[in-house]
Chain A
């Protein structure tokens, strides 16, 4: 290091300080958000498809949709739990809830949502495989209450919206990270759910009708296009907050996460957009499966960057 360099009069330099905290919320929180988007996204996209098409056109949707959602939600809840420094005290959220916290409200909603999804998954699976445990009394009673699935479903779809979006409020409540603004993050969360929801359903849509598949391509194309536009807006035009400008200037200059951000944009947004747009008129199942996979990977990477870059800035 060249100690002969003069310190400019207009600049101040820190000459003694403590070690600064690094990334506080890391990959587990990224995985948490990503898995939650899948868990709620398949329900939202599934509901849209069921609204537009007959269920016979999507024969496995009734049991696979809640099953995928249930698996994703359990990944989300598991990583939420192990990210805590005192995981066994998670119960305090239910015993001593603090309702101004979006973490509390979200935990309650997500738990209820997971419970209802589990109910749907069990009913859907027993109905899809009528010979499985035919003589089991529990299976019989579940099959007898099969209509509960359709009764619960509208409420689950309604609940999927706030469960998708509450993480944006947590980000907004993280006042120290100015990059995360409530309103755009709410829309980003919703779009992320539609992106990975449609991507997940594309992977199980082999036997679905052509019209349903084209709808899936349309949802994927529009959601990645809107989400990409928002990322570009936030990435280049966040002029009004000094801390945001400082953070983004560091990333723009080729700093940490610059390459990952652009890799995510190409993989998760640009490639799927062009493939999905083409498949809206001429559906190509192989390319669409490829687009679905790149969307899932790209969104994880984009969320990871967006989570970590505001944490690079020293706060004091």
Chain B
């Protein structure tokens, strides 16, 4: 068995339902994403088009992240999923340097590397990944690519010639396919990031990798004696937000 993923970009409408479902299912912390949908605009007004490209771990058969991981925290499952054992990860970020798809992040709460696991915990229970369930147009297709009767295999055969993977020149043998993609959507060098063209946000870069409050001493002291890392969670953020709202109310602002 070799589990794979296919996204039909002709169907994807950029609703980001998969992104949210992934965040909720896997409790992905703020400032981190296992799956994201990137919007790319092409053409000149009025002849423009917008494409939506969901990006996640490619679960490569020849995974550079698995090779560089010094402690086998990243490992293959029998079904082909490249899984990660957060309890073993030492946080060297070697996998982040090795992954050609930028699919791995440093969890700011656990300070360990993390990524899409194709919802391995759900798959183990016979369920589909959360993003597949959430997709309203069934653009996400998941299944066994070694079983020629599976939906994904049939889809690949029906669209042969139009099925692509990202960065095939890296020889990572990704098990994540796209239909309806092109160079301008799948190749990061073929599209630009221009400040001022963002829909809701500016071009932003994370200030830190992992916990922003993890100073040199804290890295040693916090795990032994506890520290600010214990209360820097999504919950603390929500509490902060609620506090801000209460302040607004007190000042007569809108809720």
Contacts and interface: CB of A to CB of B under 8 A. Distances in A.
A88 B185 contact: no
Contacts of B55: 316
Q: Give chain B's interface residue range (CB within 8 Å of chain A).
A: 35 or more
B93 A25 contact: yes
Contacts of A170: 68, 94
Nearest to B217: A82
A168 to B, nearest CB: 13
Contact of B192 (A2, A11, A100): A11
A1 interface: yes
A103 B92 contact: yes
A177 interface: yes
Interface stretch (A15-23, A198-206, A292-300): A15-23
A290 B176 CA distance: 55
A12 B192 contact: yes
B91 A96 contact: no
A145 to B, nearest CB: 34
Contacts of B193: 13-14, 17, 314
B102 A315 contact: yes
B59 to A, nearest CB: 15
B70 A17 contact: no
Contacts, number: 209
Given A22-B206, A89-B90, A170-B94, A16 B198 contact: yes
A228 B29 CA distance: 44
B187 to A, nearest CB: 9
With a 10 A CB-CB cut-off, give which of B90, B96, B197, B205 has the most chain A CB atoms.
B90
B176 to A, nearest CB: 12
A22 B207 contact: yes
A173 interface: yes
Q: Give chain A's interface residue range (CB within 8 Å of chain B).
A: 35 or more
A6 B69 contact: no
A67 to B, nearest CB: 25
A90 interface: yes
The A contact surface, by secondary structure, is loop
B212 to A, nearest CB: 12
Nearest to B195: A1
Interface string B95-139: 011111111011000011000000000000000000000000000
Interface stretch (B45-53, B144-152, B154-162, B244-252): B45-53
Interface in B29-75: 31, 33, 36-45, 47-48, 50, 55, 64, 67-72
A89 B112 CA distance: 11
B199 interface: yes
A175 B192 contact: no
Nearest to A14: B193
Contact of B64 (A6, A175, A316): A175
A9 interface: yes
A316 B101 contact: yes
Contacts of A11: 42, 191-192
B68 A18 contact: no
B83 to A, nearest CB: 14
B70 A12 contact: no
A207 interface: no
A85 B106 contact: yes
A22 B198 contact: no
A86 B199 CA distance: 37
B209 A315 contact: no
B131 to A, nearest CB: 15
Nearest to B53: A316
A93 B94 CA distance: 13
Contacts of A311: 97
A170 B70 CA distance: 10
B184 interface: yes
A243 B106 CA distance: 23
Given A101-B94, A104-B70, A175-B170, 19 more contacts: A7-B44, A7-B197, A14-B39, A15-B41, A15-B50, A19-B205, A22-B206, A25-B93, A82-B216, A84-B219, A85-B91, A85-B210, A85-B214, A87-B90, A92-B90, A100-B67, A176-B97, A311-B97, A315-B99
8 contacts: A20-B205, A21-B206, A22-B209, A24-B96, A85-B211, A93-B70, A101-B94, A176-B102
Interface of B: 31, 33, 36-45, 47-48, 50, 55, 64, 67-72, 88-94, 96-103, 105-106, 111-112, 166, 170, 172, 184-185, 188-201, 203-211, 214, 216, 219-220, 223-224
Interface of A: 1-3, 6-9, 11-22, 24-25, 82-90, 92-93, 96-98, 100-104, 107, 170, 173-177, 242-243, 246, 311, 313-316
